[in-house]
Structure 1
Amino acid sequence: MKKILFSLFVSGIVSLLAVSCAQNKAEGGKQERQALPSEKPNLIFYLSDDQDVYDYGCYGNDKVKTPSVDRLASEGMLFTNAFTGQAICAPSRSQLLTGKYPLKNGCFANHTRTKPDIESITKHMRDLGYEVVRAGKSHIAPKKVYDWDVEWNPIEKPTGPRKYIPLDSIEQYFKTAKKPFFMLIASGYPHAEYYDVANAKAEAIKWFPFNAHKKDNPGMIKSKAGYYRSIEEDDKQLRSVLELVDTYLDVKNTLFIYSADHGVSGKFTVRDVGLRVPFIARWPNVIRPGATSHQLIHYTDVLPTFMQIAGGKATENMDGKSFLPLLRGEDIEINNYIYGVSTNQNILRSEIFPSRMIRNKRFKYIRNFNAMEVLDQNLGDKPQVNAFIQRGALAFKDVPFEKLYDLESDPYELDNLIKRPAYQDIKYSLTHDMFAWMKEQGDFLTEEIGYMPIITPPGNRGVKLDQNTRKRTIADSLKNTLQKGDYIVIDHW
């Protein structure tokens, strides 16, 4: 009888434990996948300008003061693998607002326009019941594509090297908003020109393998000190915006994302220091405070995410995917690969040196299509065109045709593995996918070596290869030598 009672007792304990474990598992599941609010949330995206992901306290830099960004990280989710597809202002922003990479949306050179038939975030979110608002820097065109319901430009102040976001207008809007809204708050900081900092010291700067060789350069030290001061100024603006959000909006029903459009130290390149961006999301009751995600996400993913949150879904021709599951606590893969492009034409130096990049979490492949190694094959039968193709290759004469990096062991891209036999299968896999992506994007470059087109906007828009700029001098013998037929003319620019 005692054995029977003991057996029943043990059986009861096991049953209770099983029920308890099942309940804990269910509760844990709820914590991992948070329920969304019943009402459509407000969506705010704060975008800083030209700031490296390495230059934040929450990303490991103890030399720069970013308490407002750090606060967001403690209250939300910090992403360690967020990327833009191009390290230039307009192309980066166009991806964010269209869900399409620069080549597909048409804005893949500096100061150029998105294709006029593209539908941007303004239409998609308006169709889902949102008001769409821009506050601050624009740098995107045409208005037909980016037709905001409400927009305010940056404002001048007597202090500071750049214009400021319009805080008074943002406050008034928060006070009176009658429907859910998406607001892009685009800062002009810390983009140069920077503050003039007296008595700048090298020890006040955090140096990295990509710039440590300049830590004894007085000009570099002064520039970095001014850059840090400009970062602090932007962080103060962010603090003011967060105070307005906390005062006037339902914080639990507001998704707030902070990012910077690209890194300044890798601007115009496809290096991670240019393409990897800070990305922090706060959404109380949905995002667990202090969370971190190491999954690959991309600027093209932002619009699909917003559309899903608003009850819609991305269109078939968008490149991005929704990362809403990550915000809700699910650690799932969003992207196996991400891509990057570099187009040096239409910048002040305007040399012909296009690059493309593919990357997964560990490996990264880069092709520089006009490297010295392939220059002779890129030359054609037009001497005036050849002169500029050659000029472009010589401007980057030390940059190899191909690069391959193991980012786990070499995060700063210092050890090129491209010629090592053990990595040839990885190279083949990455290049195969990259060229398939380029074809799908409608790229004007191909896998074939020996084809080097030059591009230009129509008319007198943009930076011409055969003209001087304030950062480049063209020999008199080369001025005005290029004709319309020598270029691929991008009409919508």
Structure 2
Amino acid sequence: MNKKKLVLSVLGFSVLALISCLGNKDISRQQKDLTIVKGSTQTNSKPNLIFYLADDQDVYDYGCYGNEKVNTAAVNRLAKEGMLFNNAFTAQAICAPSRSQLFTGKYPLKNGCFANHTATRPDIKSVTTQMKNLGYQVVLAGKSHVKPEGVYQWDREWEPVPKKDVPRDYIPLDSIEAYFKTSKKPFCMFITSKYPHGKYFDVENPNTDDIKFYPFNEHKKNDKAYVKAKAGYYRSIEEDNTQIEKVLDLVDTYLDDNTLFIYSADHGVSGKFTVKDIGLKVPFVARWPKVIKPGSISNQLIHYTDVLPTFMAIAEGKSPSSMDGNSFLPLLQGQDVEINKYVYGVRTNQNILNSEVFPSRMIRDMRYKYIRNFNSIEVVNQNLTGKANVDYFIKRGANAHKNEPLEELYDLQNDPFEQNNLAQNPELQSVKAKLKQDLFSWMKSQEDILDETIGNMPIITPKGNKGFKLDQDTPRRKIPDSIKNTLTVNDVTIIEHW
């Protein structure tokens, strides 16, 4: 199969991407758009907003995105009844940073949560404040993974519910149903599943032929442990599908057509912790009867930071200029307009179990993608500080990712799985230079701890050294005794609000 057919068959991309110069934050246009919404749905109340978020599922593992070997009937149904987005992204392929974008409309560096298990800046007004101010109740049903409580003040919050004979807790279906029955105000509800995140189901005697493989994992077809884990992952996806079906039944039973239902997954598991599309590209399907045309597809670039501005526009509000995202309400209404010229990605390997010092940043447009790996083996010697205890971790991080160069450039139109690095291609140097310039400009606007300077390699840590300290063992990483507990406050960059 040639590359063009691979792109069309695997990703379901459309060949046409119509781009215009719409101003996304133009108030008069938003007001005009909202008139269309009101004319298409009930005029006596604002729409209910439901966002269903799965956990750790690749965009390539859905029937509606081209994988016929996995059971995602509920999501496939949503795609038939609504709109499927082919180019939706999160900025970070990790739980807490991904969710913080949804809830704040800001990229991880700006909202402060750019390492896992860390907190959003305490002065940020999140979805709970923004939507309450627009007359909505804001509800979290399921997994949280965000903090502090002062930023996320849910009107209602229900924890996941233990369930027998399954590897993960369930979403709180009884509480959701009771709320749907009795709610009086318009609401914004995030239903956050723990599936299909591992621990997976134990599938006996898995068959390799039941798994769909792609260029990034074809080499593992004969790896029995990988195939078994993948079969369990597929089974966990199927289990989440049953939860989505139950939620949709509740929506159709108790709520009217004036309900926007969005499904997504927080990031891909195959590219977790990376800035590759297998980690950052997310499934994104929206259903809104009488507003969204059934079976429609959008190829425009949208981002998790766009969700809150979109919800605020639907609620007849205006998102503040401090937010990074733009409303994609026009897309839901059938207008094929540009929402974002670029989307961006962040990689922070610290504060995870491996905790290697290897930060990356990414910029991507509709066709090309540029990645900067700031502690690549190519530049590690320039990043060294002269302090043996600090340099140990800088060198360790570079060696752990020694096959990742300083610069990566991909032509996603012809190479959607990022197999061919074109960073040194002489014909694309102007493309690379432009993306690099715009990436560094964005990083500056985000008040990034990194910049274009080679030799700036901060070691970050939460205040009080909480979390996964670099100079201590984790279940996946052992530190020599001579290096343990040697990092001091003078060796690290402390993030005060974590």
**What TM-score comes out, normalization by structure 1 length?**
0.93
Counterpart in the other structure of 1:210: 216
Q: How big is each residue's C-alpha offset from its partner over 1:131-167, in whole Å with a ceiling of 9 and x where there is no partner?
A: 0001000000001000000010001011210010000
2:429 equivalent to 1:424: yes
2:491 paired with 1:492: no
Amino acid at match of 1:440: S
CA distance in 2, matches of 1:485, 1:209: 44
Which amino acid in structure 2 is aligned with residue 436 of structure 1?
S
Instruction: Compute the displacement of 1:381 (Å).
Output: 2.3
Q: How far apart, in 2, do the equivalents of 1:208 and 1:476 lie?
A: 42
| Cα distance in 1 between the residues matched to 2:40 and 2:279 | 34
Q: Look up the match of 1:372.
A: 377
Q: Which amino acid aligns with 2:481?
A: D
Q: How does 1:75-224 map to 2 (within 5 A)?
A: 75-224=81-230
State the shift of 1:188 in Å. Answer: 0.1
Counterpart of 2:404, as a letter, is V
Residue 401 (structure 2) aligns with: 396
- Structure 2 equivalent of residue 444 of structure 1: 449
Deviations 1:309-346 (A, max 9, x none): 00001101000000000000000000010100000000
Larger Rg computed on CA atoms = 1
**Aligned AA for 1:99?**
G
- 1:469 aligned residue: 474
User: Offset of 1:36 from its aligned partner?
Assistant: 4.7
Distance 2:221 2:46 in 1: 49
Whole-angstrom distance in 2 between the partners of 1:418 and 1:271: 15
3-state secondary structure, aligned to 2:349: coil
Question: 1:361 — aligned with what?
Answer: 366
Q: Given the alignment, which residue of 345, 351, 357 partners 1:346?
A: 351
Question: What secondary structure sits across from 1:78 in the alignment?
Answer: strand
In structure 2, C-alpha distance between the alignment counterparts of 1:478 and 1:243, rounded to whole Å = 56
Q: Which residue of 1 aligns with 2:237?
A: 231
SS class of match (2:138) = strand
The CA distance in 1 between the partners of 2:208 and 2:309, in whole Å, is 43
Q: Aligned partners of 2:490, 2:235: CA distance in 1, in Å?
A: 47
Give the whole-Å Cα distance in 1 for the aligned partners of 2:491 and 2:442.
Answer: 27
CA distance in 1, matches of 2:453, 2:464: 30
Look up the SS of the partner of 2:463 in the other structure: coil
Partner residue of 2:58? 52
Q: Which amino acid aligns with 1:216?
A: N
What is the CA–CA distance in structure 2 between the aligned matches of 1:154 and 1:94, rounded to whole Å?
19
The 1-side partners of 2:82 and 2:476 are apart by 42
Looking at structure 2, the residues matched to 345 and 64 of structure 1 have their Cα atoms a distance apart, in angstroms, of 33
In the alignment, the residues of structure 2 paired with residue 487 and residue 150 of structure 1 have an alpha-carbon distance, to the nearest angstrom, of 39
Provide Cα deviations, 1:218-270, integer angstroms capped at 9, x if missing partner: 000000000000000000000000000000011x1000000000000000000
SS at match of 1:373: coil
Which runs of 5 or more residues in structure 2 are unaligned? 1-32
More helix by share: 1
How many Å apart are 1:478 and its aligned residue? 1.0
Amino acid corresponding to residue 424 of structure 1 in structure 2: Q
Whole-angstrom CA distance in 2 between matches of 1:460 and 1:200: 43
> Hey, what's the Cα distance between the residues in 1 that align with 2:40 and 2:267?
30
Aligned residues: 462
CA distance in 1, matches of 2:414, 2:425: 16
Cross-structure match for 1:74: 80
TM (norm. structure 2) is 0.92
Match of 1:289 among 274, 294, 297: 294
What is aligned with 1:479?
484
Task: State how far apart, in whole Å, the 2-side matches of 1:441 and 1:132 are.
Answer: 27
Q: Aligned partner of 1:126: which letter?
A: K
